[in-house]
Structure 1
Amino acid sequence: MTSTLSTVLYQLARFTSIELFFIAIGTLTTIIIALIGAILYIMLAKRNIAKQQAQLQQQFKYWLVSIILQEPDQQLQRFEVPDDIKPLLYRRFARKALLAELIRLKNDLSGQSGNNLIKLYNELQLDRLSAYDMRNGRWYDKAKGIQELAVMEQKAYIDEIYPLANHRHPMVRMEAQIALVCLQQYEGLSFFENLKYPLTEWHHIKLLQLLANHPIPSETIVNSWLNSSNPSVVQFALKLIAEQHATQFQNEVIARLSHPSDAVRNQAIACLGEIPSAPAATALRTHYSSESSKVLQLTILSGLVKTGTAGELPFLQELQLAPDESVRLAALKTIQHLQQQA
């Protein structure tokens, strides 16, 4: 062992510092060239895959257009697959390209045309590709698979999607939650009961869009959301009440003005502006002095623009003497608006 080490040290000692420098430069240059080569290879491979996919989608497009245009009385037991398409369906890459084109078209179509695409999706068992992605370990595959199953109205997968509504990755759980509502409307919001994570603002918007044409099914379910331990669920319930101008929840909304979360109180104030009434105005005026957040106090004054009446003028006129200029300006704006209404 000692002799081997001595030999190595002797060989190293033979090199001058200049020789070692050139060896290091050569090694580094080789590594850089290899990395550049690998990057170029990956870029060319991706470009080639994208080109092949575009060609396949163009080939599928003409066939899919003929399927979209078929009327119910024109449909046979199964859609006919052209001879030039049949061999492609045995290739996974081609099936994924067809799936991508189907999803793209279905996102823009409804009614009979959309139903035709769903029927073809089922006939070709493309749900297996979507389900495989949903079950895959990579988050972006999961999110993509869930989205495809929702777009193609695959209710048979609801039981598999439901646990993903609490997935640790935000994109996966968001797609799962949207899919559940897309497939089941209000019933799909049952994941609220066990929700571990907060809903984002964008997520609220998406869920409300899906429910826009569906009236609130029962007061009980909304009241349970208003009493949720998850503040973002309470916010969603308040937004839903505001969107649908559900005045029957007025007392429950007023009660949320004392919620510990600033975000919930802010949403309750905004909600009362969408279901204006004398009790709502009184509740806002009364809550003003006990509100700890100056921002929310200003929000209350803005809310009185929508729900206030001439009865709030004495309260607002008192605020004209407040030391804070922003409060005085907000009160003045509300006074002017209420006087114009009167």
Structure 2
Amino acid sequence: MISSNYFIDLFKSSSVVIELVWILIVILIASIIAVLIYLKFLRTILRRNEKSKKTLGKEFETKIITYLYSADEDSDKISSEQQLIIEDLKKETSKEYRKDILIATMLKLSYEISGEMANSINKLYVETSLLEHSLWKIKNKKWNLIAEGIRELTLFEVKEVEDLVKKHINHPKSEVRSVIQLYLVSLFHFKGLDFLNDIKTPISEWDQIQLLEVLQLLKTQEISGINNWLKSSNESVVIFSLKMAKIYNRYGAKDELISLLKHPSLAVRIQAIEVISHLSIIEAKPELIGNFDELAIEEQIAFFTMMENTYEVTDKPFILDNIQNPNFEIKFSALTILKELSLEDFNSFKVLSVDPDFVKIIKHLELN
């Protein structure tokens, strides 16, 4: 059997490099053992905390349900039993993390109920001083707490702090701006869109989709301000306004829509053409026809898509000029329109070209 003295003697007789390697190996093994012990300890703490949160959440849930069913049916005032529960919840949420657990429990229950009970939970949120907790988050310097606080105000339908929330409308973090926009539109509906007058930062495509979904759930369509927003220096505001102009058929904004055909952004110009087409604003056609060769190919394609729905006999010369356009989509649209305008002219151009795309389009249109 090899004794420990053998290893000690071997270590002492080794070169300095070998000694350093052995020292590093020992340190590394010790570090790994220490990390494993720490991770096990941390996992134990996390499990204990999670178990504690679940237990506390169940206790809060029981008290909230008792609160809801302790209401005085003949009065909107808080009953004596409810008041005791409020005081009890205040005492049990002296620490910040307990407030967050209570808020999470309230939100969980609010998803399962509606009507008067949902209003009662919103009232309980205020009475237990949780509103102050959310306001504290909004005033915090950490962006994630600001976003969390505003999200809570939205879910508990707190309208009275609109000005405080709006102070962050141009926050550098997009996550904060997103929850602010949803807060304003969810609680104030179309009036909440007034933030479009002040926002300097971009509104992401995803945020626009979310806002439109909220707006389309509303029964009323009393929207105002689109004409001014179409003139905004913020490109994303203009694009969002164009989407609203299309959804809500804002024909009254035709002058602003036509003026956007000269906007510096290609994306805006293309979307403007699509909205003009949707609203059948034929007053825009002369300008588009006159400047057709100067348009980007995407604009030309969008315009011909519009022409398929708004063509007139007087457009025939312009259509004839483009039946052999190098672009397949434009060529297809031009021949489609020509067939509708004058079948005789269409037939006379059937042998005009041996270009494969031209022949393919002709055959397709003859069969349809």
- So what's the TM-score if we normalise by structure 2? 0.74
2:125 corresponds to 1:121? yes
User: What is the identity, as a one-letter code, of the residue corresponding to 1:118?
Assistant: N
1:69-116 alpha-carbon deviations (Å, 9 max, x no partner): 799945552262659974644454333212012234445765434322
Shift of 1:206: 2.2
> Residue in 1 aligned with 2:151?
147
Shift of 1:266: 2.1
Question: Are the counterparts in 2 of residues 147 and 179 from structure 1 also a CA contact under 8 Å?
Answer: yes
- So what's the TM-score if we normalise by structure 1? 0.79
Shift of 1:19: 1.3
**CA separation in 2, counterparts of 1:122 and 1:334?**
64
Question: Are the counterparts in 2 of residues 288 and 297 from structure 1 also a CA contact under 8 Å?
Answer: yes
> Residue in 1 aligned with 2:77?
77
2:95 corresponds to 1:98? no
Question: Are the counterparts in 2 of residues 198 and 232 from structure 1 also a CA contact under 8 Å?
Answer: yes
1:168-212 alpha-carbon deviations (Å, 9 max, x no partner): 111112212322333333443343333231111111122223333
2:246 corresponds to 1:230? no
**CA separation in 1, counterparts of 2:231 and 2:340?**
35
> Residue in 2 aligned with 1:302?
305
Shift of 1:268: 0.9
Number of aligned positions between the proteins? 325
**CA separation in 1, counterparts of 2:339 and 2:121?**
56
Q: Is the alpha carbon distance of 1:34 and 1:299 closer, same or farther for their aligned partners in structure 2, counting shifts above 3 Å? A: farther
Q: Is the alpha carbon distance of 1:257 and 1:111 closer, same or farther for their aligned partners in structure 2, counting shifts above 3 Å? A: farther
> Residue in 2 aligned with 1:320?
323
Shift of 1:282: 5.4
Question: Are the counterparts in 1 of residues 143 and 173 from structure 2 also a CA contact under 8 Å?
Answer: yes
Shift of 1:62: 5.0
Give 3-state SS (helix, strand or coil) of 1:323's partner.
coil
Shift of 1:20: 0.9
2:173 corresponds to 1:160? no
Larger C-alpha radius of gyration, 1 or 2? 2
Gaps of 5+ in 2: 1-13, 343-364
**CA separation in 1, counterparts of 2:114 and 2:289?**
47
> Residue in 2 aligned with 1:245?
249
Q: Is the alpha carbon distance of 1:286 and 1:135 closer, same or farther for their aligned partners in structure 2, counting shifts above 3 Å? A: same
Give 3-state SS (helix, strand or coil) of 1:165's partner.
coil
Q: Is the alpha carbon distance of 1:286 and 1:106 closer, same or farther for their aligned partners in structure 2, counting shifts above 3 Å? A: farther
222-231 or 293-302, larger mean C-alpha shift: 293-302
Give 3-state SS (helix, strand or coil) of 2:294's partner.
coil
Gaps of 5+ in 1: 1-13
191-200 or 249-258, larger mean C-alpha shift: 191-200
Shift of 1:28: 2.4
2:134 paired residue among 130, 133, 143: 130
**CA separation in 1, counterparts of 2:71 and 2:320?**
67
Question: Are the counterparts in 1 of residues 72 and 78 from structure 2 also a CA contact under 8 Å?
Answer: no
> Residue in 1 aligned with 2:346?
none
**CA separation in 1, counterparts of 2:209 and 2:341?**
31
1:183 paired residue among 168, 182, 187: 187
Shift of 1:127: 0.8
**CA separation in 2, counterparts of 1:71 and 1:102?**
17
Shift of 1:147: 0.9
Higher relative contact order at CA 8 Å, sep ≥6: structure 1 or structure 2? 1
Question: Are the counterparts in 2 of residues 72 and 112 from structure 1 also a CA contact under 8 Å?
Answer: no
**CA separation in 1, counterparts of 2:70 and 2:284?**
54
1:173 paired residue among 170, 177, 182: 177
Shift of 1:137: 2.3
**CA separation in 1, counterparts of 2:200 and 2:292?**
32
Identity across matched positions, percent: 27
Question: Are the counterparts in 2 of residues 308 and 338 from structure 1 also a CA contact under 8 Å?
Answer: no
**CA separation in 1, counterparts of 2:131 and 2:48?**
26
Question: Are the counterparts in 2 of residues 146 and 179 from structure 1 also a CA contact under 8 Å?
Answer: yes
> Residue in 2 aligned with 1:51?
51
Give 3-state SS (helix, strand or coil) of 1:228's partner.
coil
1:194-240 alpha-carbon deviations (Å, 9 max, x no partner): 3231111111122223333343444xx32321211111111121111
Question: Are the counterparts in 1 of residues 274 and 306 from structure 2 also a CA contact under 8 Å?
Answer: yes
Q: Is the alpha carbon distance of 1:252 and 1:62 closer, same or farther for their aligned partners in structure 2, counting shifts above 3 Å? A: same
> Residue in 2 aligned with 1:215?
221
Shift of 1:148: 0.7
> Residue in 1 aligned with 2:5?
none
> Residue in 2 aligned with 1:255?
259
80-89 or 91-100, larger mean C-alpha shift: 80-89
> Residue in 2 aligned with 1:31?
31
